[in-house]
Amino acid sequence: MTFLFPGFLWALSALAIPIVIHLFQLRRFKRIDFPNVRFLKDVAQQTRARKKVRHWLTLLARMLALACLVLAFAQPYIPRTDGAVRSGQRAVSIFIDDSWSMDGQNAEGRLLDQARKGAQDVVMAHASSDRFQVLTGRFEGREQVLTGRDEALAAAAQAEVGPFSRPLSQVLARQAEALARGEASVKRRFLFTDLQRSQVDVERWTNDTTLSTVIVPIASATADNLSIDSAWFASPVRRLGQLEELHVRIRNHGAQPLENVPLRLTIDGRQRALSTFGVEAGASVDTILRFTNDATGDHWGTIALTDRPVTFDDQLVIAYHTAERLRVALVSGGDAPTDKAIEAVFAGDSAHTFSAQPYRNFDLATLQRTDLVVLNGLPDVPSGLARALKDFVDGGGSLAVFPPVKADAAGLGALLAPFGIAGPTRTDTATTKVDRIDLQEPFYREVFSTMPRNVDLPVVRVRHAFQPRPGADVLLRLQDGSPFLSATRTGRGRVYVCAAPLGETGGTFQRHALFPTSLLRMAELSRPMGTLYHILGEESIIPLEGVELSGEGAAHLKGPEGIDLVPELRRTPAGNAVVLHDQDLVPGAYALVLGTDTLMMLALDLPRTESDLAAWGVAELTEALKQRGLTAFSVLEAAPQELSLSLKELDQGVKLWKWFVLAALVFLALEILLIRTER
């Protein structure tokens, strides 16, 4: 124990006054004559002894009462653990965790409400001349300056949950920057947070002994939460009239299993699918929502469930494009039978638009309106066609190459070299077979669920030695291990190369079921539909696949709640992209509009890092701080109703003057009691 005003201790010398009064009693005894005192002698002696003891007790109570009053004026306190008394003007930085997990509840109510009240208690516990920073996860510019008490109280009251979940190391760095600009002699940081594990990166904290940090944990009553984790379509292309299967992954972060939970899908504001699911505690489950595409163009949808109190992850917004038809163009080398085989695959399918042109008279403008180009048996490749096909693939189109029986090594080499594909180096006429279908590759995995061991695979009689680029996907291999059908990604498109020519001379591939299956998958995977949704705060550059920007007008990004902004559009090697610059956007469906045309629909969703509500315990965090030598950090262990008192004790320790005043009153009461019972 020490004293804030030790000069008052000189007043303890006043304790000599009651001692002097006691020793030199000024009371005069009155003599009373009594006829016979022989029988009263023992009683008088006994009474005098009792009075003497009572007088000493009275003196002691009086001295203790006076001493307690003097000590109370000296402001005694138990020092803080670092032994420092903080005095002078203060600069205080207060962080209010406004991430979605603060929507949780405990016995005292909503976590964010408690954090706001705690921040206001911190402000009121300091002098009106002190300076304050109220920081939230938004990291807004107005939060980077020190303000007065009234502004700090208003800022704390305005904090609301939002999509920004910051690691505490970033928060501490922002607080240190703001406090460094202040001139106060005493600086301190406060963190009001639920200590969610996804945010507490204690291994990245640094110890600054000149800047003490107080962590005020506000724990949720339960870590139970149900969230929609992700979603994807079973097929890569949306087509008119197609039965779609939308896979949805749901995670149960709680300790209790759940059964018969409803899951809804709305498309363009209409409910299109409804399902129920069950999920074990701490596990995830995949469920399927089925609906039929009944309209072409751009669409947006919402996958939703009901789970309280944390609701930000109960919805997932998606956006996609439904194509009316896939456009396939055949560039013919003059082999009519094989051309008819290719045409038979697409011409009778209402989902495709098929056209065929001879390679010498091919209209290059057709490429702008084509998804898949098939080169069949070209004896040579004109240089202009080769350059146009390179631009076509880089822009996202797909190219399938079936060589002639007598391959033009120079022409095919010039065509394939820009894609990193070598060949053909030689021609082999030894009869062999396709060895197996690799179901590990997504190309065939989405078609065949299982493959019999004795399946009849195509026979190959003539093949050319093409060497795919390293990292390319070999879809079909021959028995000698050489590639038969390969897929090479280049730019935003793909190049498929078959080692054997079509027709009976090359083998039986044209008559095998793998032939139409492979061609249809090539068309289906051409011009990918793009990502179903993008995560706010994690993706700053969103590619605009298949979107061409023309004209002098500025494109607008329009979204929910009347949002209308002009985003930055950037040209990248992969094509056009929109840059969001970490803007504070609400989740939902957005339309990229140029004039009256909607170029593309985008779905922006909140990150799911906040879905797992698991948090650090006070004892666990305290031990972690101790192990890492972070002596400038302390974890406040106080009930919410005791927070204000605990905050006031941080500067001067535990104040004891009230207890000494109470003790002085007790001793005065004891003195009065002794005096009254003396008579």
β-strands 284-292, 243-252 pairing:
antiparallel
Is residue 341 assigned to a domain? no
Both tokens of 207, joined, read 């110890």
pLDDT tens column, 219-252? 888 878 899 999 999 877 787 778 899 999 999 9
Does a cis peptide bond (omega within 30 degrees of 0) precede residue 587? no
pLDDT tens column, 16-34? 877 777 776 545 555 666 6
Residues 69 and 108 in one domain: no
CA distance 406 to 403: 8
How high is the mean pLDDT of the chain?
84
Give percent of the chain with pLDDT exceeding 70. 86
The last residue of a domain, from among 497, 524, 551: 524
Please return the burial class of 506, using the count of CB atoms within 10 Å of its CB with bins 0-12, 13-18 and 19+: buried
pLDDT tens column, 662-679? 888 888 888 888 777 765
Is residue 512 assigned to a domain? no
pLDDT tens column, 385-406? 999 999 898 877 899 999 998 8
CA distance 353 to 365: 16
Per-residue pLDDT band at 623 (split at 50, 70, 90): very high
- For residue 400, give the CATH number of its domain: 3.40.50.880
The closest alpha carbon to 119, from 149, 148, 95, belongs to 95
DSSP string over 295-354? --EEEEEEEE---SS--TTSEEEEEEEEES-EEEEEEE-S-HHHHHHHHHHHTT-TTEEE
Sequence-distant (6+) residues with CB within 8 A of 322 are 238, 239, 240, 293, 295, 296, 297, 299
H/E segment holding residue 214? strand 212-217
Q: Is the pLDDT confidence value at 168 over 90? A: yes
Is residue 346 assigned to a domain? no
Residues 127 and 176 in one domain: yes
Res 426: pLDDT = 86
Give percent of the chain with pLDDT exceeding 90. 38
Residues 389 and 492 in one domain: yes
The pTM score is 0.65
Residues 375 and 464 in one domain: yes
Of residues 221 and 268, more confidently modeled: 268
Q: Is the pLDDT confidence value at 421 over 80? A: yes
**For the chain, how big is the Rg over CA atoms in Å?**
41
pLDDT tens column, 486-543? 999 887 789 999 999 999 999 999 999 889 989 988 888 886 667 899 988 776 788 7
Residues 377 and 464 in one domain: yes
Residues 387 and 421 in one domain: yes
Sequence-distant (6+) residues with CB within 8 A of 41 are none
Residues 103 and 217 in one domain: yes
Residues 501 and 415 in one domain: yes
Res 30: pLDDT = 58
The last residue of a domain, from among 524, 550, 572: 524
Q: Do 584 and 604 contact (CB within 8 A), yes or no?
A: no
Number of domains in the chain: 5
Full domain range(s) for residue 18: 2-79+657-678
- For residue 179, which amino acid is it? L
DSSP string over 341-407? HHHHHHTT-TTEEEEEEEGGG--GGGGGG-SEEEEES-SS--HHHHHHHHHHHHTT-EEEEE--SS-
Residues 132 and 115 in one domain: yes
Residues 197 and 239 in one domain: no
- For residue 143, give the CATH number of its domain: 3.40.50.410
From 130-134, 235-239, 278-282, the region with the lowest mean pLDDT: 235-239
Residues 593 and 672 in one domain: no
Average pLDDT over residues 180-191: 88
Is residue 63 assigned to a domain? yes
Is residue 353 assigned to a domain? no
